[in-house]
Amino acid sequence: MRARHPCTVLPVLPLNLFMQLLKHNRRALHTCILLANASIFIFVASCSNDPTPVRSSQPARLSASPAQLAAETSQSPTPIQSPETVAVADLPIKPKPIPPKPLPIPPITEPEVAIRIETLALNQAVIINHAAGRLQISSKHSSADDQEWMANTPIEIRMQGEGWRVTSQKKSGLPSQSRDFPAGELTVDVLNGDTRPIQWNQKQWPGKLRVVRTPSNIDLVMDVKMDSYLPGVIAKELYPSWCDAAYHAQAIAARSFAVVEEARWEGRRHYDMVAGQQSQAWIGATDNAKALAAVRDTRGQVLVHDGVVVPAYYSSACGGRPANALGVLTDNPFHNIVCVSTGNKSAGRTSCCERTSVATWKASIALTKIQSRLQAWGSANGRADLSALQLPTSIEVAEKNAAGRPEQFRIRTRKGGSVLIEAEDFRRAINAAGDSKSSMRSCDCSIQISAGNAEFSGRGFGHGVGLCQHGAQEMGRKGSSYKQILARYYPQTMIVQAWK
């Protein structure tokens, strides 16, 4: 499901949202057909040709009807086998289809999130330390008499047959001790009342560690309170010199995204997010004063639209031509947020991040590389037309969104063939090789063929959905508040105090 253009969708809206939209969307609504059906109205909106961009005229997401909602939620909760693939900063892998799930209402207490911090090979050891010198090891699969062990640190955890062997450092002349635990999750927790983080891999991790065996790996997962998690996200996502307003806006965006992800994966997977580009960067505990202050000052605040928390996607730089979430980051209509810039395609770029270091980019990639990467992507994603792709002779933009950002490319080949591919899929295919010297920073680009190469000329960095980090810094530097920044990048949302 995909809304190609935010003005041409045919949503079924609750009356209150319809009235809200009508109030703000007068300029974008040329045609409205109202069909009364209890409290539900169907409206058909046609696109405005008004050349003036009307930034606030778009809802933060598409709403679904109660009927749609019932249909979505009645789907069987199929266990999710694949790892999380919805990215915030950048996406190397195409998201796999997942059962749609409605967005959550703001939680009234601070949620705990489960963050996968690393995936290890089955034969790797996990060495853990703690300032207290002791950690509590437990397994819910142990017998009632043998569920916990207070072990001296450092401790080493290894696979032992189907279960675990935990070895504790010797103390006061005593030899080291080992204890075996059965298969299943192993939990490593700090002593009661101790708030100092667990140490692993020379980093500090707040919360409780779970060691989880999957069919092919060992996953390390931290269970951590939301506002203890967020400082280590903000500190990694933004530059230290950036302004407080950008930090505060980023804190609320990251919290909103995490609330949605926590609700989305609850009961379906042993973690909610990964520490990295696929979800949000996370460095664990941090002493970054700006990040700590931004999270503390905005504690419990989330972005809400129509009563539910918005999945506040963000990326490095939108290039002045932002993207919609639907079809780029998600196929779940509940998770859509539309681009901040509307109007017609000739309206030009919005002033945003054009003065920053990542405003423009160029890349030159051999056509043979383009061909082989698209073939590989096609084979992995069931696209026979791409897996058998001939050498490209031209790559052109086939479709753009309302902001003028490319959404689909057409690849022409030697023998007169022509293949269409979604722009973000094209970028994923090109970047899957992990070759930073020949990567595609954004889909906002033009591509010329010259002397056996594809010459890319583009703007921005990342998927371009939601908050533009460089744009937020620019706004903050010029005096905007974090509320003004969020109002721009998540139009029609409001900041709600979810928990205190």
Instruction: Return residues touching Zn ion (CB under 5 A).
Output: 318, 352-353, 468, 471
Looking at the Cβ atoms of 233 and 468, the one nearer to Zn ion is: 468
**Alpha carbon of 373 to those of 100, 250, 277, 378, 462: distances in Å?**
30, 34, 21, 8, 19
Looking at the Cβ atoms of 339 and 468, the one nearer to Zn ion is: 468
Token code pair at residue 113: 């999130």
Q: Shortest gap between Cβ of 459 and Zn ion (angstroms)? A: 9
- For residue 136, with 0-12 CB atoms within 10 Å meaning exposed, 13-18 middle and 19 or more buried, which class applies? middle
Looking at the Cβ atoms of 95 and 471, the one nearer to Zn ion is: 471
Looking at the Cβ atoms of 274 and 352, the one nearer to Zn ion is: 352
Looking at the Cβ atoms of 255 and 488, the one nearer to Zn ion is: 488
Q: Shortest gap between Cβ of 352 and Zn ion (angstroms)? A: 3
Q: Shortest gap between Cβ of 454 and Zn ion (angstroms)? A: 25
b (16+ CB within 10 A) / e for 75-90: eeeeeeeeebbbbbbb
Q: How far apart are CA 491 and CA 59, in angstroms?
A: 7
Looking at the Cβ atoms of 255 and 349, the one nearer to Zn ion is: 349
Q: Which amino acid is at 315?
A: S
Q: How far apart are CA 96 and CA 465, in angstroms?
A: 19
Residue with tokens 């139009």: 491
Q: Does the CA dihedral 105-111-112-116 come out positive or negative?
A: positive
Q: How far apart are CA 229 and CA 285, in angstroms?
A: 8
Looking at the Cβ atoms of 318 and 386, the one nearer to Zn ion is: 318
C-alpha dihedral (172, 176, 177, 182), degrees to nearest 10 = 140
Q: Shortest gap between Cβ of 489 and Zn ion (angstroms)? A: 9
Q: Shortest gap between Cβ of 445 and Zn ion (angstroms)? A: 15
DSSP reduced 3-state for 403: coil
Looking at the Cβ atoms of 235 and 468, the one nearer to Zn ion is: 468
**Alpha carbon of 7 to those of 2, 30, 312, 343: distances in Å?**
13, 10, 21, 9
Q: Quote the radius of gyration of the chain (alpha carbons, Å).
A: 25
Q: Shortest gap between Cβ of 284 and Zn ion (angstroms)? A: 29
Q: Shortest gap between Cβ of 436 and Zn ion (angstroms)? A: 22
Q: Shortest gap between Cβ of 321 and Zn ion (angstroms)? A: 8
- Cis ω before 175 (30° cut-off from 0): no
